[in-house]
Structure 1
Amino acid sequence: MLTTVRRPRDVRLESLTGLMPLYAATLDPENAYAALRAEWGSVAAVELSDGVPAWLALDWTDALRVVRERNNFTREVRYWRAFQNGQVKPGTGLHAFFSDRDNAYYSDGADHTRRRAVVDDAFAQVDESALRRDVKRVCDLMLTHIAKDGATTADLVPTYTQFVPSLAVAAMYGLGAEDAGVMGQYARDIFSNTAAAGPAFVGLNTMLEDLIRKRTSHPGHDVLSTMVRWRDPRTGTGLTDKELLDTAQMIQSAGHEMSVAWVTMALVYLLSDNDFDGRVRGGRLGIDEALDAVLVHSSPVWNTPARFATADIEIGSVFNDSNVDIGGRFVHEGEAIVAAAAEATASVHRGADPVWTGTSRASLAFGASGPHHCPAQRISRIIVKASVEAVLHRLPGLRLTVPADQLGTGLSLWARSASSLPVSFDPVTGYDENWTSTEASRR
């Protein structure tokens, strides 16, 4: 049993030092979250990175408050005291990730409503059948390359899961494979929380600025062209140049990172749980149900990026040395708070009725209902489902070559993914580089 000093209810983040780094929880979640709960209660102080502190909401109810209550918790960086006073230093991954941007992700109120409308309209016009076909075609070609010349082993992270989502997102922007690879690397660097994030933002924005100019003069039927053409029905005005750039960047980087993690974790879950894998392959559990189970039991999102308190807020539960709940934690105006999506999802299922947990879809991987709920959930599911189905169909006898606990962890505070996925499979014959999903359906 853990024994530790219990922290008082009312402390200010700027007065705290020696905090547990948030990244430590991704390396050893069971012990890290237990230690944080013992010391702080359900809302704990952690170090985001580079000595910058934040609160971490560990329970489902508290995490829901953080992601839903716009009047108390905002995404607008101008409210973050540590950013405005220079504690979040330029040149760091944290500064690059949270720099103020004119898109729906980093805004609230009327600005958010208008900017979100552009994204919703653009996604609504995506031809989902065509997207599904495009993703299947890309997957088939990549898997054909993986299994060519009688190969029976591969690491599916660098050869497959890192690239399929970027190819799909790039296709929605009307780009090819080469540009998709560049954009995918930018997205990985942006979410790495390292010094590579700043140059990656610059590189991605330069690339998108050029693409926006092309779509403005020669619009097509892609997502970016839809955003260029969009006009507010009330005012007849479109997005400013900066809003358009920041929105295009948001869709590309966030969509890529989440989809990579979901594809990877779905395959990890399938290949490391024989009963689960057998039910999927035997047809007793569909791919959609499998993907929902991954969101609940092996969330591809560790944490949702920080919100910032707009006033002094009381949230969560604090326990005294006698283990008595003495009230909520005080989060002060201007302090950052992060919803621990994976731990909060786990907490609501921990000790619950197995009949419910076996079919539960309660997850914070895409946020929660409300204005900031992820607009790409349906698009992301199409990409991930096609990617997972292709692997199961194209690589017979697929199995991990190392235990699941030796797969490593991707370098991100936000996305939860394995850093490698070494597998073996039976030899694949009868396919070549021109193999297509249409031909596969005839076999």
Structure 2
Amino acid sequence: MTPDAVPLSGPEFQTEPARLYRRMRSEHGAVTPVLLDGGIPAWLVLGYRELHQVTGDPVLFSRDSDLWNQWENIPDDWPLLPMIGHKQPSILYTVGERHRERAAMISGALEGVDPAELRRHSERFADELIDAVCAEGEADLIGDYAMLLPVRVLARLYGVSDEEGPALVTALNDMIDGRERAIAGQAHLATAMAELLAARRERPADDVASRLLADNHGFTDQEIAEDLMVMMAAGHQPTADWIGNSLRLMLTDERFAASLFGGRNSVAEAMNEVLWEDTPTQNVAGRWATRDTRLGGRRIRAGDLLLLGLQGANSDPQVRTHGSALTGGNNAHFSFGHGEHRCPFPAQEIAEVIARTGIEVVLDRLPDIDLAVPADALTRRPSPWLRGLTELPVRFTATPALKGG
């Protein structure tokens, strides 16, 4: 690793990530040496073409974390262990034919979700959350809404009780951000998924967990529990941030002002622009080189960790049009990944329905909504992995809650 490696931390990930990625690309090129917590070296792939190469070649750039040449330097309490697992039996670290079987099993379970039912659940939970704040005339659309909606919908689809939702929100947030409580959050989520599978073994139902158990392709309950954890984590926080980032854009950019007063065409445009310019999943770990190679002018050694710089690749000037967002339905962004380890298409569709429904319910239920603070006072979580607001304070005309749910 080069001596000029960039720490993958600091306030710029919170305040000016676009400028930070531009500087990284200018000073280091499409593949930047970085340092993770504890000074652990890795490579951040910022180039669009380079990222396409890494995610499209699972033979050279494997998802098998056992290949990592840094394991001997990783302490047991390393905060990123929930994100970069060692010998974890989940789909994230399964490779080859077994991964393809596992991906098909998960896609099949998610495809079983009825679109109309998904929309109903999304609307019902969104309305319940708005009911809790609509009479106040003010709310935080992050803490009071976006951070609660996806997990409530996903919990219902997967088979988890509604009462477990708030605890799952806390566990997922602790685990995903790699904070001090990451290990505790992972433990809580693991227990919840194991209890869910045990219950569905005895009483199958029309839910994702039951479908996974019924069509398990020989995978163990532990492996299925790991996959449920991955699906819950990957489905909740990024979708919550997608809602929050899209609402922020619509409340601060005059191009979307009409949508706040009855128009709906711009909701999809705002959501797509966020995936290009302000994607919830900024960076992902990762891939491991199976042999010595070269990438973006860098010498990559066998066992080196490569982090997928999704936002950096989305903003690569070599693939951008006049430096502006590629909106208008262009979905060539990396926000859902690429290659055989990308987010399954049914999962993408579920996330989009939850996010779009959540945004539309806000616009329907809260008349004359407006920011309660200046736009430049909005702050982000200081995370290099997931980009989202810490809060989104709004004011609006108070209205009564819906009757009859």
Range into which the TM-score falls when normalised by the shorter chain: over 0.9
Structure 1 residue 209: Cα displacement: 1.0
- Label 1:336 to 1:399 Cα distance change in 2 as closer, same or farther (>3 A): same
Q: Matched residues in 1 for 2:383 and 2:323: separation?
A: 31
Which of 75, 80, 89 is the aligned partner of 1:94? 80
1:112 partnered with 2:83: no
Structure 1 residue 25: Cα displacement: 4.6
Deviates more, 1:61-70 or 1:135-144: 61-70
| Structure 2 stretches lacking a partner, 5+ long | none
Which of 377, 382, 385 is the aligned partner of 1:406? 377
SS of 1:45 mapped into structure 2: strand
1:125 partnered with 2:112: yes
CA contact 1:230–1:239 (8 Å) conserved in 2: no
Q: How many residues align?
A: 400
Identify the residue that residue 32 of structure 1 maps to in structure 2: 20
Q: Which amino acid aligns with 1:292?
A: N
Q: Which amino acid aligns with 1:21?
A: L
CA contact 2:8–2:35 (8 Å) conserved in 1: yes
Identify the residue that residue 136 of structure 1 maps to in structure 2: 123
Which of 279, 282, 293 is the aligned partner of 1:299? 279
Q: Which amino acid aligns with 1:338?
A: L
Q: Matched residues in 2 for 1:20 and 1:137: separation?
A: 43
Structure 1 residue 55: Cα displacement: 0.7
CA radius of gyration, larger in: 1
Which of 335, 343, 346 is the aligned partner of 1:365? 335
Structure 1 residue 286: Cα displacement: 4.3
Q: Which amino acid aligns with 1:423?
A: V
Q: Matched residues in 2 for 1:292 and 1:349: separation?
A: 20
SS of 1:357 mapped into structure 2: coil
Deviations 1:200-219 (A, max 9, x none): 11111112111111101111
1:152 partnered with 2:129: no
Identity rate, percent = 28
Q: Matched residues in 2 for 1:356 and 1:272: separation?
A: 16
Which of 246, 251, 256 is the aligned partner of 2:236? 256
Deviates more, 1:23-32 or 1:132-141: 23-32
Structure 1 residue 22: Cα displacement: 4.1
Which of 290, 308, 315 is the aligned partner of 1:339? 308
TM-score scaled by length of structure 2:
0.93
Q: Matched residues in 2 for 1:292 and 1:397: separation?
A: 24
Q: Matched residues in 2 for 1:143 and 1:245: separation?
A: 32
SS of 1:337 mapped into structure 2: strand
1:425 partnered with 2:399: no
- Label 1:49 to 1:24 Cα distance change in 2 as closer, same or farther (>3 A): farther
SS of 2:399 mapped into structure 1: coil
Matches within 5 A, 1:240-255: 240-255=220-235
| Structure 1 stretches lacking a partner, 5+ long | 1-12, 233-237, 317-327, 437-443
Q: Which amino acid aligns with 1:88?
A: I
Matches within 5 A, 1:217-228: 217-228=202-213
CA contact 1:304–1:367 (8 Å) conserved in 2: no
Deviations 1:247-285 (A, max 9, x none): 111111111121111111111111111112325756373
The CA RMSD over aligned residues, in Å, is 2.1
CA contact 1:22–1:46 (8 Å) conserved in 2: no
Q: Matched residues in 2 for 1:355 and 1:414: separation?
A: 23
Structure 1 residue 345: Cα displacement: 0.5
Q: Which amino acid aligns with 1:302?
A: Q
SS of 1:190 mapped into structure 2: helix
Matches within 5 A, 1:25-104: 25-27=12-14, 28-83=16-71, 85=72, 87-99=73-85, 100-104=87-91
Identify the residue that residue 439 of structure 1 maps to in structure 2: none
Structure 1 residue 356: Cα displacement: 8.3
Q: Matched residues in 1 for 2:109 and 2:277: separation?
A: 31
SS of 1:307 mapped into structure 2: strand
Q: Matched residues in 1 for 2:126 and 2:18: separation?
A: 35
SS of 1:364 mapped into structure 2: coil
1:171 partnered with 2:171: no
CA contact 1:280–1:286 (8 Å) conserved in 2: no
- Label 1:277 to 1:80 Cα distance change in 2 as closer, same or farther (>3 A): farther
SS of 2:272 mapped into structure 1: helix
SS of 1:382 mapped into structure 2: helix
Deviates more, 1:50-59 or 1:345-354: 345-354
Q: Matched residues in 2 for 1:356 and 1:420: separation?
A: 25
Structure 1 residue 44: Cα displacement: 0.8
Q: Which amino acid aligns with 1:295?
A: L
- Label 1:355 to 1:296 Cα distance change in 2 as closer, same or farther (>3 A): closer
Q: Matched residues in 1 for 2:317 and 2:365: separation?
A: 36
CA contact 1:104–1:111 (8 Å) conserved in 2: no
Matches within 5 A, 1:299-338: 299-316=279-296, 328-338=297-307
